[in-house]
Amino acid sequence: MNKDWQYFNPVKVVSGVGSLSRLREFTKSGDWLLITSSGFTRRGLVDTITKQLDRVALQVYDSVTPNPELEDLETVTQHYRGALIQGIIALGGGSAIDAAKVLAVTLCCELERPLVEVLRQPKKHNWDKKLPLIVIPTTSGTGAEVTPFATVWDKPYHKKHSITGDKVFPDVALLDPALTVPLPEFETLYTSLDAISHALESIWNVNRSPVSEAFGVQSLNLALKALPKLRKQPDDIDARADMQQASLLAGLAISQTRTAIAHSISYPLTSYFNVPHGIACSFTLPTLIEEYLKSKPDFKNRELILRAKELVSSLDIACYINQYATKEDVLSKKEGMHHPDRAGNYDGEMNELTLHQVLLKSLDWN
Protein backbone atom coordinates (compact mmCIF):
# COMPACT_ATOMS: atom_id res chain seq x y z
CA MET A 1 0.00 0.00 0.00
CA ASN A 2 1.32 3.43 -0.96
CA LYS A 3 1.73 5.69 2.07
CA ASP A 4 1.75 8.80 -0.12
CA TRP A 5 -1.21 8.96 -2.40
CA GLN A 6 -3.76 11.28 -3.95
CA TYR A 7 -7.19 10.74 -5.39
CA PHE A 8 -8.83 12.63 -8.23
CA ASN A 9 -11.84 11.72 -10.31
CA PRO A 10 -13.96 14.53 -11.80
CA VAL A 11 -16.72 12.47 -13.46
CA LYS A 12 -20.30 13.26 -12.42
CA VAL A 13 -22.07 9.91 -12.14
CA VAL A 14 -25.86 9.64 -12.44
CA SER A 15 -27.12 6.13 -11.80
CA GLY A 16 -30.49 4.39 -11.84
CA VAL A 17 -33.11 2.84 -14.10
CA GLY A 18 -34.35 5.60 -16.44
CA SER A 19 -31.28 7.83 -16.03
CA LEU A 20 -30.96 7.96 -19.84
CA SER A 21 -33.94 10.35 -19.76
CA ARG A 22 -31.77 12.90 -17.92
CA LEU A 23 -29.40 13.32 -20.88
CA ARG A 24 -31.06 16.61 -21.85
CA GLU A 25 -29.99 18.22 -18.53
CA PHE A 26 -26.34 17.84 -19.45
CA THR A 27 -26.31 19.04 -23.06
CA LYS A 28 -26.31 22.64 -24.22
CA SER A 29 -27.51 23.89 -27.60
CA GLY A 30 -25.42 23.67 -30.76
CA ASP A 31 -23.91 20.83 -32.73
CA TRP A 32 -23.21 17.67 -30.76
CA LEU A 33 -21.79 14.40 -32.02
CA LEU A 34 -23.20 11.02 -30.95
CA ILE A 35 -20.65 8.20 -31.18
CA THR A 36 -22.20 4.74 -31.25
CA SER A 37 -22.46 1.54 -33.26
CA SER A 38 -25.01 0.71 -35.94
CA GLY A 39 -26.94 -1.73 -33.71
CA PHE A 40 -28.22 1.15 -31.57
CA THR A 41 -29.45 2.98 -34.68
CA ARG A 42 -31.22 -0.19 -35.87
CA ARG A 43 -32.83 -0.79 -32.48
CA GLY A 44 -34.18 2.76 -32.28
CA LEU A 45 -32.13 4.06 -29.35
CA VAL A 46 -30.43 6.71 -31.48
CA ASP A 47 -33.91 7.97 -32.49
CA THR A 48 -34.97 8.11 -28.82
CA ILE A 49 -31.93 10.23 -27.99
CA THR A 50 -32.39 12.50 -31.02
CA LYS A 51 -36.00 13.21 -29.99
CA GLN A 52 -34.99 13.92 -26.40
CA LEU A 53 -32.32 16.42 -27.50
CA ASP A 54 -34.65 18.70 -29.46
CA ARG A 55 -32.55 21.84 -28.91
CA VAL A 56 -29.37 20.13 -30.12
CA ALA A 57 -28.30 19.61 -33.73
CA LEU A 58 -27.21 16.01 -33.28
CA GLN A 59 -24.79 14.49 -35.76
CA VAL A 60 -24.48 10.71 -35.54
CA TYR A 61 -21.39 8.61 -36.18
CA ASP A 62 -22.58 5.02 -35.79
CA SER A 63 -19.73 3.07 -37.35
CA VAL A 64 -17.74 2.27 -34.20
CA THR A 65 -16.40 -1.28 -34.32
CA PRO A 66 -14.83 -3.35 -31.50
CA ASN A 67 -11.35 -2.14 -30.54
CA PRO A 68 -11.19 1.33 -32.18
CA GLU A 69 -8.37 1.59 -34.68
CA LEU A 70 -5.99 4.48 -35.00
CA GLU A 71 -6.35 4.96 -38.75
CA ASP A 72 -10.18 4.98 -38.48
CA LEU A 73 -10.04 7.57 -35.69
CA GLU A 74 -7.74 9.69 -37.84
CA THR A 75 -10.36 9.61 -40.64
CA VAL A 76 -13.22 10.48 -38.26
CA THR A 77 -11.19 13.31 -36.72
CA GLN A 78 -10.52 14.78 -40.19
CA HIS A 79 -14.18 14.40 -41.14
CA TYR A 80 -15.62 16.25 -38.12
CA ARG A 81 -12.81 18.74 -37.45
CA GLY A 82 -14.49 21.61 -39.32
CA ALA A 83 -18.01 20.83 -38.04
CA LEU A 84 -17.85 23.08 -34.95
CA ILE A 85 -18.87 20.24 -32.64
CA GLN A 86 -19.75 21.59 -29.17
CA GLY A 87 -19.85 18.32 -27.28
CA ILE A 88 -19.78 14.54 -27.63
CA ILE A 89 -22.06 11.76 -26.41
CA ALA A 90 -20.91 8.14 -26.34
CA LEU A 91 -23.51 5.37 -26.37
CA GLY A 92 -22.23 1.82 -26.22
CA GLY A 93 -19.52 -0.34 -24.70
CA GLY A 94 -15.87 0.41 -24.09
CA SER A 95 -15.10 0.82 -27.79
CA ALA A 96 -17.68 3.62 -28.32
CA ILE A 97 -16.55 5.32 -25.11
CA ASP A 98 -12.85 5.07 -26.02
CA ALA A 99 -13.52 6.41 -29.53
CA ALA A 100 -15.51 9.32 -28.05
CA LYS A 101 -12.74 10.08 -25.54
CA VAL A 102 -10.23 10.31 -28.39
CA LEU A 103 -12.49 12.58 -30.46
CA ALA A 104 -13.22 14.80 -27.43
CA VAL A 105 -9.54 15.76 -27.40
CA THR A 106 -8.63 15.52 -31.10
CA LEU A 107 -11.54 17.63 -32.36
CA CYS A 108 -10.53 20.67 -30.33
CA CYS A 109 -6.72 20.43 -30.44
CA GLU A 110 -4.67 21.83 -33.27
CA LEU A 111 -2.27 19.01 -34.02
CA GLU A 112 0.90 19.89 -35.90
CA ARG A 113 1.02 16.38 -37.32
CA PRO A 114 -1.61 13.74 -38.19
CA LEU A 115 -2.95 11.76 -35.21
CA VAL A 116 -1.25 8.57 -36.46
CA GLU A 117 2.13 10.28 -36.22
CA VAL A 118 1.35 11.86 -32.85
CA LEU A 119 0.49 8.50 -31.30
CA ARG A 120 3.22 6.47 -33.00
CA GLN A 121 5.98 8.73 -31.67
CA PRO A 122 7.53 7.56 -28.36
CA LYS A 123 6.97 10.90 -26.60
CA LYS A 124 3.52 11.19 -24.98
CA HIS A 125 1.40 14.05 -26.30
CA ASN A 126 -0.01 16.44 -23.71
CA TRP A 127 -3.75 16.81 -24.40
CA ASP A 128 -4.61 20.20 -22.93
CA LYS A 129 -8.13 20.87 -24.24
CA LYS A 130 -11.28 18.84 -24.53
CA LEU A 131 -14.91 19.01 -25.61
CA PRO A 132 -17.64 18.21 -23.08
CA LEU A 133 -18.16 14.45 -23.04
CA ILE A 134 -21.18 12.50 -21.79
CA VAL A 135 -20.93 8.72 -21.75
CA ILE A 136 -23.76 6.20 -21.59
CA PRO A 137 -22.39 2.67 -21.14
CA THR A 138 -24.46 -0.21 -22.45
CA THR A 139 -22.09 -2.88 -21.14
CA SER A 140 -20.72 -3.39 -17.64
CA GLY A 141 -17.02 -4.08 -17.57
CA THR A 142 -14.58 -1.57 -18.98
CA GLY A 143 -15.09 1.15 -16.37
CA ALA A 144 -14.19 3.53 -19.22
CA GLU A 145 -16.96 5.85 -17.99
CA VAL A 146 -14.69 7.03 -15.15
CA THR A 147 -11.12 6.48 -16.35
CA PRO A 148 -8.65 9.03 -17.76
CA PHE A 149 -7.43 6.79 -20.56
CA ALA A 150 -8.58 5.47 -23.93
CA THR A 151 -7.12 2.53 -25.80
CA VAL A 152 -6.44 2.87 -29.52
CA TRP A 153 -5.35 -0.15 -31.55
CA ASP A 154 -2.71 0.18 -34.25
CA LYS A 155 -3.37 -2.90 -36.36
CA PRO A 156 -0.61 -2.42 -38.98
CA TYR A 157 1.97 -2.44 -36.16
CA HIS A 158 0.12 -4.87 -33.81
CA LYS A 159 0.36 -2.29 -31.06
CA LYS A 160 -1.93 -0.46 -28.71
CA HIS A 161 -1.63 3.18 -27.76
CA SER A 162 -3.11 4.86 -24.71
CA ILE A 163 -4.41 8.40 -24.78
CA THR A 164 -4.19 9.51 -21.17
CA GLY A 165 -4.52 12.54 -18.95
CA ASP A 166 -7.05 14.54 -16.97
CA LYS A 167 -8.65 15.84 -20.19
CA VAL A 168 -9.56 12.25 -21.12
CA PHE A 169 -11.98 11.87 -18.19
CA PRO A 170 -15.62 12.11 -19.33
CA ASP A 171 -17.66 14.90 -17.71
CA VAL A 172 -20.84 12.93 -17.06
CA ALA A 173 -21.59 9.20 -16.92
CA LEU A 174 -25.24 8.16 -17.16
CA LEU A 175 -25.58 4.64 -15.78
CA ASP A 176 -28.92 3.13 -16.69
CA PRO A 177 -28.87 -0.61 -15.90
CA ALA A 178 -31.90 -1.16 -18.17
CA LEU A 179 -29.63 -0.44 -21.17
CA THR A 180 -27.45 -3.44 -20.27
CA VAL A 181 -30.31 -5.99 -20.13
CA PRO A 182 -30.33 -6.79 -23.90
CA LEU A 183 -26.60 -7.62 -23.87
CA PRO A 184 -26.18 -11.19 -25.24
CA GLU A 185 -24.86 -13.98 -23.03
CA PHE A 186 -21.28 -14.08 -24.33
CA GLU A 187 -20.81 -10.29 -24.17
CA THR A 188 -22.28 -10.27 -20.66
CA LEU A 189 -19.76 -12.90 -19.65
CA TYR A 190 -16.65 -11.31 -21.06
CA THR A 191 -17.47 -7.75 -20.02
CA SER A 192 -18.19 -8.98 -16.47
CA LEU A 193 -14.84 -10.76 -16.52
CA ASP A 194 -13.20 -7.47 -17.51
CA ALA A 195 -14.71 -5.82 -14.41
CA ILE A 196 -13.52 -8.70 -12.20
CA SER A 197 -10.07 -8.41 -13.74
CA HIS A 198 -9.97 -4.64 -13.11
CA ALA A 199 -10.96 -5.12 -9.47
CA LEU A 200 -8.23 -7.74 -8.92
CA GLU A 201 -5.63 -5.74 -10.84
CA SER A 202 -6.31 -2.71 -8.61
CA ILE A 203 -6.11 -4.83 -5.45
CA TRP A 204 -2.70 -6.40 -6.27
CA ASN A 205 -1.34 -3.13 -7.58
CA VAL A 206 1.79 -1.33 -6.35
CA ASN A 207 -0.07 1.98 -6.79
CA ARG A 208 -3.03 1.02 -4.62
CA SER A 209 -4.25 3.44 -1.95
CA PRO A 210 -6.88 3.10 0.77
CA VAL A 211 -9.39 4.63 -1.66
CA SER A 212 -8.62 2.41 -4.66
CA GLU A 213 -8.52 -0.66 -2.44
CA ALA A 214 -11.95 0.11 -0.97
CA PHE A 215 -13.36 0.49 -4.50
CA GLY A 216 -11.63 -2.68 -5.74
CA VAL A 217 -12.83 -4.84 -2.84
CA GLN A 218 -16.41 -3.56 -3.08
CA SER A 219 -16.38 -4.06 -6.86
CA LEU A 220 -15.18 -7.64 -6.59
CA ASN A 221 -17.79 -8.49 -3.95
CA LEU A 222 -20.58 -7.09 -6.16
CA ALA A 223 -19.34 -8.76 -9.35
CA LEU A 224 -18.96 -12.17 -7.69
CA LYS A 225 -22.53 -11.89 -6.46
CA ALA A 226 -23.99 -10.62 -9.75
CA LEU A 227 -22.30 -12.78 -12.40
CA PRO A 228 -23.76 -16.17 -11.31
CA LYS A 229 -27.22 -14.54 -11.20
CA LEU A 230 -26.80 -13.11 -14.71
CA ARG A 231 -25.68 -16.51 -16.03
CA LYS A 232 -29.01 -17.92 -14.82
CA GLN A 233 -31.27 -14.95 -15.44
CA PRO A 234 -29.92 -12.34 -17.89
CA ASP A 235 -32.87 -9.97 -17.38
CA ASP A 236 -32.43 -9.75 -13.59
CA ILE A 237 -32.36 -5.95 -13.36
CA ASP A 238 -30.94 -5.93 -9.80
CA ALA A 239 -28.05 -8.15 -10.88
CA ARG A 240 -27.54 -5.92 -13.96
CA ALA A 241 -27.42 -2.87 -11.64
CA ASP A 242 -24.94 -4.65 -9.34
CA MET A 243 -22.68 -5.53 -12.27
CA GLN A 244 -22.89 -1.97 -13.56
CA GLN A 245 -21.80 -0.69 -10.15
CA ALA A 246 -19.05 -3.31 -9.97
CA SER A 247 -17.76 -2.02 -13.31
CA LEU A 248 -17.98 1.59 -12.11
CA LEU A 249 -16.16 0.88 -8.83
CA ALA A 250 -13.42 -1.10 -10.56
CA GLY A 251 -13.12 1.76 -13.06
CA LEU A 252 -12.71 4.23 -10.20
CA ALA A 253 -10.04 1.95 -8.71
CA ILE A 254 -8.00 1.56 -11.92
CA SER A 255 -8.45 5.25 -12.70
CA GLN A 256 -5.92 5.65 -9.85
CA THR A 257 -3.80 2.49 -10.05
CA ARG A 258 -4.08 1.52 -13.74
CA THR A 259 -4.13 -2.17 -14.60
CA ALA A 260 -1.38 -4.75 -14.04
CA ILE A 261 -0.09 -8.16 -15.12
CA ALA A 262 -3.32 -9.79 -16.37
CA HIS A 263 -3.86 -6.87 -18.74
CA SER A 264 -0.22 -6.83 -19.80
CA ILE A 265 -0.60 -10.49 -20.80
CA SER A 266 -3.84 -9.76 -22.67
CA TYR A 267 -2.76 -7.09 -25.15
CA PRO A 268 -0.75 -9.19 -27.67
CA LEU A 269 -3.57 -11.76 -27.69
CA THR A 270 -6.05 -9.09 -28.73
CA SER A 271 -3.81 -7.27 -31.20
CA TYR A 272 -2.54 -10.43 -32.98
CA PHE A 273 -5.43 -12.89 -32.61
CA ASN A 274 -8.51 -10.71 -31.88
CA VAL A 275 -9.21 -12.45 -28.57
CA PRO A 276 -12.02 -10.41 -26.93
CA HIS A 277 -10.53 -8.20 -24.24
CA GLY A 278 -12.53 -9.62 -21.33
CA ILE A 279 -11.39 -13.15 -22.18
CA ALA A 280 -7.77 -12.18 -22.83
CA CYS A 281 -7.47 -10.33 -19.50
CA SER A 282 -9.14 -12.99 -17.37
CA PHE A 283 -8.05 -16.47 -18.51
CA THR A 284 -4.91 -16.19 -16.36
CA LEU A 285 -6.68 -14.94 -13.24
CA PRO A 286 -7.11 -18.28 -11.39
CA THR A 287 -3.41 -19.12 -11.86
CA LEU A 288 -2.31 -15.58 -11.01
CA ILE A 289 -4.40 -15.64 -7.82
CA GLU A 290 -2.82 -18.97 -6.83
CA GLU A 291 0.71 -17.64 -7.51
CA TYR A 292 -0.01 -14.36 -5.73
CA LEU A 293 -1.21 -16.07 -2.57
CA LYS A 294 1.84 -18.36 -2.57
CA SER A 295 4.05 -15.28 -2.35
CA LYS A 296 1.73 -13.46 0.10
CA PRO A 297 0.32 -16.07 2.49
CA ASP A 298 -1.00 -13.43 4.93
CA PHE A 299 -2.75 -11.32 2.27
CA LYS A 300 -5.71 -9.64 3.97
CA ASN A 301 -8.15 -10.12 1.09
CA ARG A 302 -7.24 -13.79 0.70
CA GLU A 303 -10.76 -15.16 1.14
CA LEU A 304 -12.22 -12.67 -1.35
CA ILE A 305 -9.75 -13.36 -4.13
CA LEU A 306 -10.05 -17.11 -3.56
CA ARG A 307 -13.79 -16.73 -4.22
CA ALA A 308 -12.88 -14.94 -7.47
CA LYS A 309 -10.56 -17.84 -8.36
CA GLU A 310 -13.34 -20.35 -7.76
CA LEU A 311 -15.85 -18.46 -9.91
CA VAL A 312 -13.51 -17.73 -12.82
CA SER A 313 -12.16 -21.32 -12.78
CA SER A 314 -15.71 -22.63 -13.06
CA LEU A 315 -16.24 -20.67 -16.30
CA ASP A 316 -13.55 -22.58 -18.25
CA ILE A 317 -12.23 -19.49 -20.03
CA ALA A 318 -9.38 -21.47 -21.63
CA CYS A 319 -11.80 -23.06 -24.09
CA TYR A 320 -12.62 -19.59 -25.48
CA ILE A 321 -8.93 -18.74 -25.99
CA ASN A 322 -8.50 -21.96 -27.94
CA GLN A 323 -11.06 -20.69 -30.46
CA TYR A 324 -8.74 -17.81 -31.38
CA ALA A 325 -5.18 -19.01 -30.88
CA THR A 326 -3.13 -22.20 -30.57
CA LYS A 327 -0.64 -22.92 -27.81
CA GLU A 328 2.20 -22.01 -30.21
CA ASP A 329 0.44 -18.73 -31.10
CA VAL A 330 0.11 -17.70 -27.46
CA LEU A 331 3.64 -18.68 -26.44
CA SER A 332 5.10 -16.93 -29.50
CA LYS A 333 3.88 -13.59 -28.11
CA LYS A 334 5.20 -14.16 -24.58
CA GLU A 335 7.84 -11.46 -24.81
CA GLY A 336 5.29 -8.71 -25.43
CA MET A 337 3.14 -9.86 -22.51
CA HIS A 338 5.51 -8.62 -19.84
CA HIS A 339 5.33 -4.92 -20.62
CA PRO A 340 6.75 -2.81 -17.77
CA ASP A 341 4.00 -0.16 -18.18
CA ARG A 342 1.42 -2.64 -16.89
CA ALA A 343 3.27 -5.70 -15.54
CA GLY A 344 5.32 -3.34 -13.36
CA ASN A 345 2.15 -2.42 -11.46
CA TYR A 346 1.73 -5.99 -10.16
CA ASP A 347 2.99 -6.37 -6.61
CA GLY A 348 3.39 -10.16 -6.85
CA GLU A 349 6.43 -11.95 -8.24
CA MET A 350 6.70 -12.32 -11.99
CA ASN A 351 9.57 -13.17 -14.28
CA GLU A 352 9.91 -14.85 -17.65
CA LEU A 353 9.83 -18.37 -16.21
CA THR A 354 6.83 -17.65 -13.96
CA LEU A 355 4.99 -16.09 -16.91
CA HIS A 356 5.64 -19.19 -19.02
CA GLN A 357 4.27 -21.40 -16.24
CA VAL A 358 1.24 -19.14 -15.72
CA LEU A 359 0.40 -19.38 -19.44
CA LEU A 360 0.76 -23.16 -19.56
CA LYS A 361 -1.24 -23.71 -16.40
CA SER A 362 -3.96 -21.23 -17.38
CA LEU A 363 -4.56 -23.09 -20.60
CA ASP A 364 -4.14 -26.58 -19.14
CA TRP A 365 -1.17 -27.25 -21.34
CA ASN A 366 1.27 -28.44 -18.69
Please say which residue, 45 or 173, places its beta carbon nearer to Fe ion. Answer: 173
Q: In the complex, what is the shortest distance from the CB of residue 1 to Fe ion, in angstroms, rounded to a whole number?
A: 23
Q: In the complex, what is the shortest distance from the CB of residue 254 to Fe ion, in angstroms, rounded to a whole number?
A: 8
Cα separation, 21 vs 24, whole angstroms: 7
Stretch that binds Fe ion, among 34-42, 166-174, 188-196, 231-239 (CB under 5 A): 188-196
Binding residue for Fe ion (CB under 5 A) from 194, 213, 291, 347? 194
Stretch that binds Fe ion, among 13-21, 68-76, 154-162, 194-202 (CB under 5 A): 194-202
Stretch that binds Fe ion, among 81-89, 148-156, 184-192, 277-285 (CB under 5 A): 277-285
Phi, psi of 135 (to 5 degrees): -120, 140
Please say which residue, 19 or 147, places its beta carbon nearer to Fe ion. Answer: 147
Q: In terms of DSSP bridges, do strands 133-137 and 56-61 run parallel, antiparallel, or are they unpaired? A: unpaired
Residue in the shown chain whose Cβ atom is closest to Fe ion: 194
Contact between 163 and 127 under an 8 Å Cβ cutoff? The reply is: yes
Q: Beta strands of the chain (E only): which ranges?
A: 12-15, 30-35, 56-61, 87-92, 133-137, 149-154, 159-164, 172-175
Cα separation, 77 vs 86, whole angstroms: 14
Contact between 92 and 34 under an 8 Å Cβ cutoff? The reply is: no
H/E stretch holding 355 reads helix 352-362
Stretch that binds Fe ion, among 22-30, 68-76, 183-191, 275-283 (CB under 5 A): 275-283
Please say which residue, 60 or 222, places its beta carbon nearer to Fe ion. Answer: 222
Q: In the complex, what is the shortest distance from the CB of residue 194 to Fe ion, in angstroms, rounded to a whole number?
A: 4
**242 contacts Fe ion (rule: CB under 5 A):** no
Please give the residue ranges that form the binding site for Fe ion (CB under 5 A).
194, 281
